[in-house]
Amino acid sequence: MLQPLLKKFEGEHMLYLTDLVNKTALVTGGSRGIGREIVTQLVKNKINVIFTYNNGVDQAEALVDELKNEGVVLRAIRCNLEEKSDLDHLIDFLSELPMKLDFLINNAGFTMDQPFLKMKDEEWEKVLQVNLTAASYLTRRLLRTLLVQKGAIVNITSISGLIGTKGQVNYSASKAGMIGLTKSLSREIGRLGVRVNCVAPGYIKTDMLNGIPKDKWDKIQKEIPLNRIGESEDVAHMVLYLLSSYSSYITGQVITIDGGLI
């Protein structure tokens, strides 16, 4: 029988998932947007976090400073996901930590939008490398540790990987690949005690969508049954749930966070 998982710590107003306390997570792309909120929510639930960033050094340092008094280990490490040497350095860094990795959140991703007929090879290859290939490489290299720890993996995909998006064939393909990775891997390792799931955000207020004109935002919002654009917290809370014992019978799933859009 599951013990109570929620506890209100003395002097605090928020509730903690107590089965996550003192666990350790790696979050890729954790300095901005959804990744930043995932890092914040993990730390506030007393999870040790190592997160990667590439160009956002100022944002990474600001986040570490903001969360430095939460009583957990928090480290930001620069990692260019296009470079295998950076990925290997990250893995070496993790192996030298005193605690073992329990959770992997493959969140990093970016876009290089272009109509497919005009898309350059480098625009295809870079998006696939960062959004999919790097995630698969990290997962494979860290999997033995996660198996020992009976941990969990959460991959951040997108509704673009489910329905496709005009002008984003490379991005949609990379996110669809993430779904395939999740479903196949969950079947391989479920009996070994590691769960693998996907979270597929819809329209979320992040820097990635800052260029969308207001009139288009208004049109999009009207098409969403819940009549609002999503917040990063909406995604981060689902990640927390999928890491916790509350989701102990869930694996191989793609959970959309899109206000009912699809």
User: Is residue 8 scored above 60 in pLDDT?
Assistant: no
Condensed to tens digits (0 to 9), the pLDDT of residues 165-206 reads 999 999 999 999 999 999 999 999 999 999 999 999 999 998
Cα radius of gyration (the chain): 18
Residue in the block written with tokens 């979050």: 27
C-alpha to C-alpha distances, 165 to 170, 208, 222, 247, nearest whole angstrom: 10, 15, 18, 30
> Mean of the per-residue pLDDT values for the chain?
92
Domain ranges of the chain: 17-257
Integer Cα distance of 91 and 2 in angstroms: 33
Condensed to tens digits (0 to 9), the pLDDT of residues 41-68 reads 999 999 999 999 999 899 999 999 999 9
- What integer pLDDT is reported at residue 17 of this predicted model? 72
Condensed to tens digits (0 to 9), the pLDDT of residues 70-88 reads 999 999 999 999 999 999 9
Condensed to tens digits (0 to 9), the pLDDT of residues 210-220 reads 667 777 878 88
Integer Cα distance of 152 and 247 in angstroms: 10
Side-chain half-sphere CA neighbours of 16 within 13 A: 21
Integer Cα distance of 20 and 169 in angstroms: 37
Q: In the chain, what percentage of residues exceed pLDDT 90?
A: 85
Mean pLDDT of 221-248: 95
* pTM of the predicted protein model: 0.92
- What integer pLDDT is reported at residue 233 of this predicted model? 97
Q: Does domain 17-257 fall into CATH 3.40.50.720?
A: yes
Integer Cα distance of 128 and 145 in angstroms: 26
Active site residues: 171
Integer Cα distance of 72 and 24 in angstroms: 9
User: Is residue 4 scored above 60 in pLDDT?
Assistant: no
